[in-house]
Structures are given as structure tokens and as C-alpha cells.
């Protein structure tokens, strides 16, 4: 009986060892890649990482490549964050990694990127939620909670406020501090109504609610139309910015009150306007901009970016990237910049991002999942479109993989450190 037990134990240990070998061996045997320069300054690509998948052999493995090399990524930073598994090893916004390291107690359990504010004196996190009443005949309540950390003393305080109301949901979309006031910009959605934007203002020293301002962004002109309000907040989630932008589109309603589809197609957009809201004064003004006149063209995507005092519109198609920039402090419209795929390679632009005064582009030189074609990545100056860097992922170590599996990798996304 003892001999049988020992034999069984040995078999289990061998099976466990084999399982460990195959589990980690697959990772160790992935080919290694590195972003290699075609032309330009390698330092321009230091904040750039390409995300993709290795599909050689059996299975598919997430992988990323940069100027430092490549590594397998089993879990995205976003998943790590949402599951509250501690510090972010690869967070896109590098400041969050620093915040988790410097203030682990304050940051523990906090999710998302929209509710933060930081300066040299304080770190603030705000959250809004809607709590349904247990009695279906009674209104629920919107609940705000704000955590504030004094960076000099380490003192942490929490204050809350509630409002009886009947809504679908509420969420924080931006947090700013002006003088002794904390502004918690909140999106409130109601059934069959245009969403509301509320600036909930608190006293930064006492935590007392001061006022609640509904940001006036207009109303739909007809009952069969609705306003879609898109916030364009400061791109760096914790950075201070005394203003916030809104793109307001009037479009046809997709649903009637009876939840019957009005149209089986994408809602028709009748007008688009850009508004600027100043936190300190509560002033709202319309910007004299042509906001996305080409946004409904098939195959064209548009990004709206606010960094400090500069508002940038990035229009991306397979053939070109067009950049429009506007200085909010002076009203200066910068010259339009266009970067074409033909300037870079014989390929199609699959993605473009704007950050750090640069435009980062990814071009696919072949079909995404055919021909084993490595993409081209490029970095251009946002001011004049000059190409500062071009590179491509290249294999640097096979790790035992056969030659026909080395190029079985696709890179389809850009990740940036701002």
C-alpha cells in the first residue's frame, strides 16, 4: 500500500512538472522582437509600444514590442486595474504608476481614470453613483464621494453629498480645483431625455457642498431629435486644466418612447458645435470651429484632444492623417498639417495617436493576418508634419522556433506613455 502511494505521488509530481514545463516553456520559446530604426532619431520612439499577438505554432499569445525589446503580456494593465490587483506595471499613463507607488494606501481600490486631480498640494479622487430606492414608488439618490489627500501632512479626508432624483445612472467625467473649490463634473443620464452635465462644487477645506451648476449646452430643436454631449477633458487625467470642452451633436433619435426603432441606420447628424466651459467663472462659450465636418465619411475616424491650452482634432483614414490645432488662450488657429501614407511606405494607416507634441502612426504594409508583413511605425512633429522617426518590429532571437514561425506575429495597436 505504501509503495502504491509513493508511486502515485511520483506520477503526480512528474505530471505537475511537465505541466509547469509546457506552461512556461511556451513563453520562453516565443521569438523575441525589437523595434528597429529605418530612419530618424530612435529617441523619438522611446514612449511608443506596439501591441499585438504571436500566432506561430499552437495557440495565440499577446505580445508587445518597443525599442527595448519584446515581452509576452498575459493580462492588460486595464484588467489588472479593474480587478484591483495592485500596482500597474504597464499603465499607459505613467503618472498613475507613480501614484500607486507613492500613495498605495490612498490609491487602493480606486478604479478608472476620470475622477482624479493632483497638484503640488493635494491628490483628489471623486466618484458619483446612483442608488435606487428599495421602494419602487420613491426616487433614488445620486451620491457623490470625494477623497482628498494632503500631500504635505498625509492627512486623508472623505466627504459626501446626496441628491434625491430619478435617473438611470451618474458618473464623474472630470475633476478640477480652482482656488478653494473642488469641481466634480458629473454626467447624469435620464430615461428618454438628453443627458445633463452637472458641475458639483465643494469647499476644498471643509468638504461642504457649495453649489450645483447645470452646464447650459442647449436643447434639441425637435421631439424626434436628441443632443449627444461628448466631453473633451484634459488628456492627462490628473493634470490641472481650468476649462473643459464639449462636442454637442444634434441627431435623430434612435428610439421612441415605446422603444421602437425609428431608423435601422446610424442616426443622422444635423449639427455639431464645440463649447468651452470655464470652471472658475461658470462661463460657457461656443468656439468658432468647424467641428468635424467630415466625421460621417466612411472609413474616417476622428479624435478630439485637449492638452493644456491646445485643442487638437485628429482625422485618420487609411490614406492620410489630418491635424487641426486651436489655441484656447489666444484664439489662434494653427496651420493644418497632413501626413500621407505615401510619405512613409506603401501601406495603409491603421492607427494614429497624438501626444507629447507628436503624431504616432502605425501602417500595415500587408493584410493584417496574411503575408506575415511587419508594420511600419512613425513619429511626426505635430506642428509641421516632419517625419522624425520610422521603424519596424524585427526578430532578434528565434528561441528555438522554426523559420516559418518567426514572422507569425501581428501588431495592430499603439500604446503611449504621456
Q: pLDDT class for 242, splitting at 50, 70, 90?
A: very high
Alpha-carbon distances of 368 from 40, 364, 377, 386, rounded to whole Å: 25, 7, 14, 27
Mean pLDDT of 198-222: 92
Is residue 9 scored above 90 in pLDDT? no
Mean pLDDT of 103-119: 87
Indicate whether 294 and 399 sit together in one domain: no
Q: Check: CB of residue 225 under 8 Å from CB of residue 199.
A: no
Residue 115 phi, psi (nearest 5):
-105, 20
Q: pLDDT class for 362, splitting at 50, 70, 90?
A: very high
Q: pLDDT class for 93, splitting at 50, 70, 90?
A: low
Residue 349 domain boundaries: 31-77+308-418
What percent of the chain is predicted at pLDDT more than 90? 52
Domain membership of residue 314 (yes or no) is: yes
Mean pLDDT of 9-22: 43
Torsion angle of alpha carbons 250, 256, 260, 265, nearest 10°?
A: -10
DSSP string, 307-339: ETTEEEEEEE-SSEEEEEEEETTT--BPPPEEE
Mean pLDDT of 309-322: 95
Domain membership of residue 67 (yes or no) is: yes
Is residue 122 scored above 50 in pLDDT? yes
Mean pLDDT of 159-182: 91
Q: Check: CB of residue 144 under 8 Å from CB of residue 160.
A: yes
Task: Give the separation between CA 177 and CA 238, rounded to whole angstroms.
Answer: 11
Dihedral over Cα of 412, 97, 234, 377: its sign: negative
Q: pLDDT class for 113, splitting at 50, 70, 90?
A: confident
Q: What is the pLDDT of residue 29?
A: 75
pLDDT in tens, 69-82: 999 876 554 455 44
Mean pLDDT of 303-308: 93
Domain membership of residue 372 (yes or no) is: yes
Domain membership of residue 25 (yes or no) is: no
Alpha-carbon distances of 57 from 54, 402, 411, rounded to whole Å: 9, 9, 17
Indicate whether 122 and 40 sit together in one domain: no
Indicate whether 243 and 144 sit together in one domain: yes
249, 271, 304 - which closes a domain: 304
Domain membership of residue 110 (yes or no) is: no
Q: Give every CB contact of residue 309 below 8 A, 6+ residues apart in sequence.
A: 327, 328, 329
Mean pLDDT of 18-26: 43
Specify the 3-state DSSP secondary structure of 208. coil
Indicate whether 145 and 251 sit together in one domain: yes
- Using a CB cutoff of 8 Å and minimum separation of 24, what contacts does 102-108 make? 103/149, 105/156, 106/147, 106/149, 106/156, 108/84
Q: What is the pLDDT of residue 299?
A: 63
Q: pLDDT class for 220, splitting at 50, 70, 90?
A: confident
Q: What is the pLDDT of residue 369?
A: 47
Q: Give every CB contact of residue 44 below 8 A, 6+ residues apart in sequence.
A: 358, 379, 388, 389
Mean pLDDT of 36-56: 93
Q: What is the pLDDT of residue 30?
A: 86
Sheet strands (E) in 47-179: 48-54, 61-66, 69-72, 116-118, 122-131, 140-150, 156-165, 169-178
Out of 27-36, 136-145, 164-173, 308-317, give the one with best mean pLDDT: 308-317
Indicate whether 341 and 300 sit together in one domain: no
Mean pLDDT of 117-141: 86
Task: Give the separation between CA 80 and CA 343, rounded to whole angstroms.
Answer: 38
Q: pLDDT class for 297, splitting at 50, 70, 90?
A: low
Is residue 287 scored above 50 in pLDDT? yes
In this predicted structure, which of 6-10, 237-241, 250-254 has the lowest mean pLDDT?
Answer: 6-10
Task: Give the separation between CA 198 and CA 172, rounded to whole angstroms.
Answer: 9
253, 287, 304 - which closes a domain: 304
Q: What is the pLDDT of residue 138?
A: 67
What percent of the chain is predicted at pLDDT more than 70? 81
Indicate whether 129 and 260 sit together in one domain: yes
Indicate whether 68 and 204 sit together in one domain: no
Q: What is the pLDDT of residue 209?
A: 95
Q: Give every CB contact of residue 83 below 8 A, 6+ residues apart in sequence.
A: none
Domain membership of residue 359 (yes or no) is: yes
Indicate whether 65 and 120 sit together in one domain: no
Per the model's pLDDT, the better-predicted residue between 256 and 222 turns out to be 222
Mean per-residue pLDDT of the chain = 83
Q: What is the pLDDT of residue 346?
A: 78
Instruction: Please name every residue paired with 186 in a beta bridge, in sequence order, or none if there are none.
Output: 172, 198
Task: Give the separation between CA 31 and CA 48, rounded to whole angstroms.
Answer: 20
Please tell me the total count of domains within the chain.
2
304, 339, 354 - which closes a domain: 304
Indicate whether 401 and 418 sit together in one domain: yes
Dig out the grid coordinates for 380 from the structure: 511626426
Domain membership of residue 248 (yes or no) is: yes
Indicate whether 153 and 214 sit together in one domain: yes
Strand order in the sheet with 122-131: 116-118, 122-131, 140-150, 156-165
If you ran DSSP here, which 8-state letter would residue 297 be given? S
Is residue 264 scored above 90 in pLDDT? no
Domain membership of residue 5 (yes or no) is: no
Indicate whether 263 and 153 sit together in one domain: yes
Indicate whether 45 and 144 sit together in one domain: no
Amino acid at each position: 500500500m505504501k509503495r502504491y502511494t509513493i508511486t502515485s505521488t511520483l506520477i503526480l509530481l512528474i505530471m505537475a512538472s511537465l505541466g509547469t514545463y509546457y506552461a512556461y516553456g511556451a513563453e520562453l520559446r516565443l521569438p523575441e522582437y525589437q523595434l528597429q530604426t529605418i530612419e530618424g532619431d530612435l529617441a523619438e520612439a522611446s514612449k511608443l509600444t506596439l501591441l499585438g499577438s504571436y500566432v506561430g505554432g499552437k495557440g495565440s499569445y499577446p505580445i508587445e514590442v518597443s525599442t527595448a525589446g519584446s515581452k509576452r503580456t498575459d493580462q492588460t494593465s486595464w484588467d489588472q486595474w479593474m480587478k484591483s490587483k495592485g500596482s500597474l506595471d504597464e499603465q499607459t499613463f505613467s503618472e498613475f504608476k507613480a501614484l500607486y507607488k507613492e500613495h498605495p494606501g490612498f490609491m487602493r481600490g480606486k478604479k478608472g481614470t476620470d475622477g482624479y486631480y493632483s497638484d503640488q498640494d493635494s491628490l483628489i479622487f471623486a466618484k458619483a453613483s446612483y442608488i435606487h430606492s428599495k421602494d419602487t414608488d420613491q426616487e433614488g439618490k445620486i451620491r457623490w464621494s470625494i477623497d482628498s489627500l494632503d500631500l504635505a501632512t498625509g492627512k486623508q479626508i472623505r466627504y459626501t453629498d446626496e441628491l434625491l432624483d430619478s435617473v438611470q445612472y451618474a458618473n464623474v467625467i472630470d475633476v478640477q480645483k480652482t482656488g478653494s473649490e473642488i469641481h466634480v463634473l458629473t454626467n447624469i443620464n435620464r430615461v428618454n431625455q438628453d443627458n445633463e452635465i452637472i458641475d458639483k462644487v465643494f469647499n476644498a477645506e471643509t468638504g461642504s457642498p457649495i453649489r450645483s451648476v447645470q452646464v447650459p449646452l442647449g436643447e434639441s430643436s425637435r421631439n424626434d431629435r436628441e443632443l449627444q454631449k461628448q466631453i473633451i477633458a484634459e488628456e492627462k487625467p490628473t493634470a490641472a486644466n481650468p476649462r473643459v470642452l464639449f462636442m454637442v451633436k444634434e441627431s435623430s433619435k434612435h428610439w421612441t418612447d415605446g422603444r421602437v426603432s425609428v431608423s435601422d441606420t446610424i442616426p443622422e447628424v444635423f449639427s455639431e458645435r464645440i463649447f468651452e466651459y470655464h470652471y472658475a467663472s461658470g462661463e460657457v462659450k461656443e468656439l468658432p470651429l468647424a467641428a468635424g465636418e467630415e466625421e460621417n465619411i466612411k472609413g474616417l475616424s476622428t479624435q478630439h484632444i485637449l492638452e493644456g491650452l491646445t485643442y487638437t482634432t485628429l482625422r485618420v483614414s487609411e490614406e492620410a492623417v489630418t491635424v487641426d490645432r486651436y489655441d484656447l488662450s489666444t484664439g489662434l488657429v494653427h496651420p493644418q498639417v497632413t501626413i500621407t501614407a505615401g510619405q512613409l511606405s506603401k501601406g495603409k494607416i491603421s492607427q494614429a495617436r497624438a501626444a507629447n507634441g507628436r503624431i504616432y502612426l502605425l501602417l500595415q504594409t500587408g493584410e493584417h493576418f496574411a503575408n506575415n508583413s511587419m508594420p511600419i511605425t512613425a513619429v511626426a512633429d505635430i506642428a509641421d508634419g516632419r517625419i522624425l522617426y520610422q521603424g519596424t518590429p524585427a526578430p532578434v532571437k528565434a528561441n528555438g522556433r522554426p523559420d516559418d514561425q518567426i514572422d507569425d506575429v501581428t501588431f495592430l495597436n499603439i500604446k503611449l506613455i504621456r
